[in-house]
Structure 1
Amino acid sequence: MENTLNDKQQQVNDLKNRLDMFMSTIDSLDPEVTDIEDIDKLIHMLNELETKYERYKKDWKGTL
């Protein structure tokens, strides 16, 4: 079961960490050997980041 983050600062930190992981993954890719599976993995990471953001955004409504 997924650990739910209720505190807005925890949620922001979670998004930052996920974005950092995404950026690290991009930085580690070698353009000469990157294949479609690597690109799919990046797209999956972005989709997960967007899903988390949308979930947290609902939590933040009324607190912004």
Structure 2
Amino acid sequence: MSQQERIEDLKVRLADFMGRIEKLDPEETSVEDIDRLISMLEDLEKNME
């Protein structure tokens, strides 16, 4: 995968992550929801290496 493709992939993933955060209702967010978000961030971090 080229550098440009990696950047585009990361942009898509980050946009998905931000969309999920914006849709969260603090009153209904579970620990599992937060764990999934943390996992997504960890995957993004690994892809940046």
Q: TM-score, normalised by structure 2?
A: 0.93
User: Which 4+ residue blocks in structure 1 deviate beyond 4 angstroms?
Assistant: none
Partner residue, 2:46 = 51
- Where in structure 2 are there 5+ consecutive unaligned residues? none
Which of these two proteins has the greater Rg computed from alpha carbons? 1
The RMSD of aligned alpha carbons is 0.6
Q: What corresponds to 1:3 in structure 2? A: none
User: Following superposition of structure 1 onto structure 2, how do residues 31-50 of structure 1 map, counting pairs within 5 Å?
Assistant: 31-50=26-45
Q: Of residues 7, 10, 21 in structure 2, which corresponds to 1:12?
A: 7
Q: TM-score, normalised by structure 1?
A: 0.73
Q: Identical aligned pairs, as a percentage?
A: 51
- Amino acid paired to 2:27: E
Structure 1: runs of 5+ lacking an equivalent: 1-5, 55-64
